[in-house]
Structure 1
Amino acid sequence: MADIDAKAQALSAARNRILQLQEQMTDKVLQMAAEVEKLMEAVPASEAKAFLKARCNLPAVELATYVGFAKTLKGSEEVLRKSRASFPVTKALVAAAPDVRKEILERMAIGAQIDTKDVAAISRRLEAAKLTPKQAMAAYQRNILAAAARKRTKDSLASFQTDVASFVDDLRRLWLKLLPETDVVCEGLRHRASDLLKVFETLYGAEHRPASEITQTNREYPVAIAYHALRQFRDGQFGGDFGYGLGDRDGTTKAIDALQPFTGKVPVQVGKVRERKPPTELVGPLRPRALELCAGGGGMALGLEQAGYRHVALIEFDRNAAATLRKNRPQWKVVEADIRKIDFTQYRKDRIDLLAGGLPCTPFSSVGERKGKHDDNDLLMEGVRAVKEVQPRSFVFENVEGLLHAKHADYVAALLRKLSKLGYETAIHRINSRDYGIAQNRARILIVGIHKKLGGAFRMPPRFPEMATNMGDVLADLMGANGWSGVADWVRTMQERPFVERGQVIQKGFLSDTIRGYQGSAQNGEGIRALRNGVSYAPPAKGAPTNEEASNEGFVPGLTNRMRSRLQGFPDEWEFVGGLGAVADQVGNAVAPKVAQAVGLAIYSALKAYEIDWKKMMWPSGRRLSIEPPLIDGVPATLVENNELSGFSCEMVG
């Protein structure tokens, strides 16, 4: 008896809690609808929708329901509340025909419990009631015939997949020498390919363009290459190791692989398996291809190069920045031009894997006039045009966090909408250079897109807090280059001072503020903050501090352009062209190379389904970088070892 009472109490308590929660959820839905209605009355509908999507993360499917609520369910709030209507039911009611909605609300008013199946059933019944007997019979017959056709197609497809799977398995055995390459075996495979081709044509048609005429992002591509693969096998083209390509960009798609998606299965590894090489080990045409817009002084380009990409071209308007690119990489094709005047369709034939760009961010920066889309320097929409004309497999555009400010919500929404219409799964991600062994707190956003037809899922690269460094370790030798006797104390202070953000200690060891372009004097609170942090922020110092400068009251060391460059992660051998201000702009506007390398590898992983060995590829030595401080008497430290990856002299610390 006691057990029965306990069970009854538990059920009763659970029911009360669940009913309470259902009521609360219905209230939330109604409150959301009311807030959206208020917003729609205050601002234009297009701007309100853009704001809700971009700044409130309101999914499009929910947005349509809340926007339509005022037109369809206004005045029915009490009925919905009493029936504890869920969001799916509310959504179905908003989308339903008026007569369906009227009947459902009447049922709710007398206490009926309604779910989405009820809405669908009533909708079908009322729709059928509008038909004459002859129309109803015709509709019924159409449904019967359509269902029979769907079943037949489904059965044919299942049988076809089974046959293709068996065929592909035998092809792989032949390729791996597990099946003898005799005339009998090859003739049998040829006849099977012929039979499969006939079924293929009934399911997918018999007219398909050559693969060389179709980009890999086109929806025709996978069907076309499978069709041509079956034709080749039907004609007995089995050749050796199946090394012939199908006319794709680099010849890496094998006829055998082209059929794999039609098996309906994940490929089975039989016998020895050739490991896919990382992009850094690929050569010639096999390397992923990049086209870069607004390349600047080369930060993103250098990082993508380190990730294994080969640049088809780098486009840069500023003559000094273009000269910097040519000076450091004479083999790069640098196009000195305004991207607004370039016809990007000329690059479509190059089958670009990654379209990248550090598009000007001053329109959205937290400093300056912040004109956003009204700024003449806003080139984000030019990036969208480039995506449309180049049709790359993927793209990444770097910008400042200010782009996500509420005032730019409609612009961001329009940007994402345009990219989606072009066929790309696009998302905005945050990234900070400090998470990749850079001694700078530089937060940025990345607009990353992968073409939907490729099926790849982009994931942000992992963070590496264990590789963290600080201003003292990174700048020690440069700060002591002119014999400043206080350098050791300064370095020690930078090493020991914790970096705090929003009241939370991020790491032990101080980080530089975001390195910006040239400023004659520090703006807003930057100067005060920089002095408090142990450096003079602007303008850039012309040389390392001396003891004479240090004797002045209130002295703090300044950052030279070389110091700023190193804080961005540029190698010391990277030579910038231009005067003090021009170089400062190139350094401040750059993407940190290590960040670009990480993002480039992450995109390659999405495109090729390649597992990245992050530590091995980004830090081959597996060690953290550090620089020995100069001696107290002002003599610069002995440089222990030169590391080619970082590009500056350093001691390798375990």
Structure 2
Amino acid sequence: MRSVELFAGAGGLAIGMANAGFDHAAVIEWNHDACETFRENQRHHMSSVERWPLFEGDVRKFDYSTISEEVMVVSGGPPCQPFSLGGKHQGYLDARDMFPEAVRAVRELRPKAFIFENVKGLLRESFADYFEYIHLQLTHPNLIRRKDESWGEHRIRLERHHTSRRVRSEYNVVFRLLNAANYGVPQRRERVFLVGFRSDLGVQWNFPEEKHSEDSLLHSQWITGEYWDRHKVAKRHRPTLALRQAARVDKLAELLNDSKEPWLTVRDALVGLPDPEKQPRNGIANHVFSPGARSYPGHTGSPYDEPAKTLKAGDHGVPGGENMLARVDGSVRYFTTREAARLQTFPDDYIFRGAWTEAMRQLGNAVPVRLAEVVASSVADTLLKMRGHE
């Protein structure tokens, strides 16, 4: 199944799409270091990316007529800084808002489906009107904004068009805020996914079921002890149960079975990786210790035995607290690029190019590969079933 990947970044969504069975007809990204990451992995024949046609440049200049074969799915993560909780919150006033280009790709390629993702901040109350506007544009991508028409005026015209009994939606669009930890990613990372299917296909689809939970993790740690046994942590070295978790654990003691798997933790993610501070010459790509980490109020690092906090991409260097490991003994250090890649569920043979701060920025902007694959696989299954009934 052919697909087109917009705003590819480090490739998290693109690799997840490939793992789900999609074959990219074009991968579009403007950031040079991110493109060098793709090229590096193509040079060493990393199977997921080896044959991707990479376009380094402004997506606004990409000519979709150069893609001759039918495109089943358009996917991508329009730059999220305009809506990020950690950014300047300018939204549609920010020149980096690329949702209009996502709509253009849908309009010109007319795929059977699309998958777009963005940061949780997109759902902020202050962006509610613009989020509705995005939703309406993706529902009716052929109702184009006129010259000299403001986005607010265009939204009103879309609303009137959408509520008219004489028209039918071009795409049926749903959205949901997904926590990556609930899908087997060792990181608390919330992303908004917008998924649409062409309305003439008549398909029914819903977001995949969550398969992991915090309750199951607490049960495996504090009721059965299976978590500590699996990691071969002696009882005398096991941390003390935090007060904030104690009440929940008391209730969990009554559970005989939980149908969901435990959340994965930082400890789970880093299995097999040596401590880069103690073994600096470890021979593992991108696994280099970076000094200077420090803890301060509100920025205390990710506890070893919980999913990591959301990895972030700072405009000026690496955000300290969000990208640190908080060891059991209370000390902190920065995650290496390889460790951050593990937390984002990139494969170990995927190499990141650029300085440490730039590689961490690529990872901070990325979609976890596993989360992308879960959503993409569900879309792929629906399209394959539809094709089987044609």
Structure 2: how far apart are the matches of 1:402 and 1:480? 34
Which of these residues, 608, 626, 634, is aligned with residue 384 of structure 2? 608
CA shift in 2, pair 1:336/1:359, >3 Å: same
Post-superposition shift, 1:456? 1.0
Deviations 1:367-399 (A, max 9, x none): 121100011111011101111111111101110
How many residue pairs end up in the alignment? 280
SS at match of 1:604: helix
Which of these residues, 305, 308, 316, is aligned with residue 512 of structure 1? 308
Contact 1:425/1:449 (8 A) holds in 2: yes
Contact 2:103/2:138 (8 A) holds in 1: yes
Structure 1: how far apart are the matches of 2:305 and 2:362? 27
Which of these residues, 348, 356, 371, is aligned with residue 580 of structure 1? 356
Any unmatched runs of 5+ in structure 1? 1-287, 485-507, 536-549, 611-654
RMSD, aligned α-carbons:
2.5
Post-superposition shift, 1:564? 0.7
Match of 1:397 in 2: 116
2:4 matched to 1:291?
yes
Match of 2:278 in 1: 483
SS at match of 1:472: helix
Structure 2: how far apart are the matches of 1:323 and 1:434? 29
Structure 1 counterpart of 2:341, which letter? Answer: S
Contact 1:459/1:606 (8 A) holds in 2: no
Match of 2:85 in 1: 366
Structure 2: how far apart are the matches of 1:605 and 1:396? 14
Structure 2: how far apart are the matches of 1:477 and 1:558? 18
Structure 1 counterpart of 2:359, which letter? Answer: V
2:96 matched to 1:301?
no
2:66 matched to 1:346?
yes
SS at match of 1:413: helix
CA shift in 2, pair 1:311/1:521, >3 Å: closer
Structure 1: how far apart are the matches of 2:323 and 2:349? 27
Post-superposition shift, 1:534? 1.6
Match of 2:218 in 1: none
2:267 matched to 1:472?
yes
Structure 2: how far apart are the matches of 1:481 and 1:364? 34
Please, what TM-score do these two structures have when normalized by structure 2? 0.67
Deviations 1:185-236 (A, max 9, x none): xxxxxxxxxxxxxxxxxxxxxxxxxxxxxxxxxxxxxxxxxxxxxxxxxxxx
Contact 1:372/1:408 (8 A) holds in 2: yes
Question: In percent, how many aligned pairs have the same letter?
Answer: 33
Structure 2: how far apart are the matches of 1:555 and 1:416? 45
2:97 matched to 1:378?
yes
Contact 1:456/1:609 (8 A) holds in 2: no
Structure 2: how far apart are the matches of 1:321 and 1:417? 31
Query: Within 5 Å, which residues of 2 pair with 1:415-454?
Result: 415-422=134-141, 423-454=170-201
Structure 1: how far apart are the matches of 2:80 and 2:64? 22
SS at match of 2:375: helix
Greater RCO, CA 8 A, separation 6+: 2
CA shift in 2, pair 1:292/1:458, >3 Å: same
Contact 1:515/1:588 (8 A) holds in 2: yes
Match of 1:332 in 2: 52
Deviations 1:292-348 (A, max 9, x none): 00111111111111111111110111111112112223321111111112222333x
Deviations 1:63-107 (A, max 9, x none): xxxxxxxxxxxxxxxxxxxxxxxxxxxxxxxxxxxxxxxxxxxxx
Structure 2 counterpart of 1:299, which letter? Answer: G
Match of 2:246 in 1: none
Structure 2 counterpart of 1:293, which letter? Answer: L
Match of 2:210 in 1: 463
Structure 1: how far apart are the matches of 2:323 and 2:369? 24
Contact 2:318/2:357 (8 A) holds in 1: no
CA shift in 2, pair 1:520/1:363, >3 Å: closer
Contact 2:318/2:360 (8 A) holds in 1: no
SS at match of 2:114: strand
Query: Within 5 Å, which residues of 2 pair with 1:105-504?
Result: 288-328=1-41, 329-347=49-67, 349-422=68-141, 423-465=170-212, 466=261, 468-478=263-273, 480-483=275-278
Contact 2:208/2:378 (8 A) holds in 1: yes
Structure 1: how far apart are the matches of 2:345 and 2:339? 10
Query: Within 5 Å, which residues of 2 pair with 1:539-554?
Result: none
Contact 2:5/2:28 (8 A) holds in 1: yes
Post-superposition shift, 1:555? 3.6
Structure 1: how far apart are the matches of 2:134 and 2:124? 14
Contact 1:400/1:445 (8 A) holds in 2: yes
Any unmatched runs of 5+ in structure 2? 42-48, 142-169, 213-260, 280-303
Post-superposition shift, 1:479? 5.0
Give the structure with higher Rg (CA).
1
Contact 1:436/1:595 (8 A) holds in 2: yes
Please, what TM-score do these two structures have when normalized by structure 1? 0.41
Contact 1:436/1:467 (8 A) holds in 2: no
Structure 1 counterpart of 2:31, which letter? Answer: D
Post-superposition shift, 1:410? 1.6
Structure 2 counterpart of 1:569, which letter? Answer: T
CA shift in 2, pair 1:595/1:520, >3 Å: same
Match of 2:232 in 1: none
Structure 2 counterpart of 1:321, which letter? Answer: A
Structure 1: how far apart are the matches of 2:123 and 2:96? 17
Structure 2: how far apart are the matches of 1:587 and 1:608? 31
Structure 2 counterpart of 1:605, which letter? Answer: D
SS at match of 1:330: coil
Structure 2: how far apart are the matches of 1:519 and 1:555? 26
Contact 1:461/1:598 (8 A) holds in 2: yes
Post-superposition shift, 1:605? 2.4
Structure 1: how far apart are the matches of 2:37 and 2:4? 18
Structure 1 counterpart of 2:200, which letter? Answer: K
Post-superposition shift, 1:469? 1.6
Structure 2: how far apart are the matches of 1:384 and 1:289? 18
Structure 1: how far apart are the matches of 2:357 and 2:323? 19
| Higher normalized helix content (fraction of residues) | 1
Deviations 1:115-146 (A, max 9, x none): xxxxxxxxxxxxxxxxxxxxxxxxxxxxxxxx
Structure 2 counterpart of 1:460, which letter? Answer: F
Post-superposition shift, 1:359? 1.2
2:374 matched to 1:598?
yes
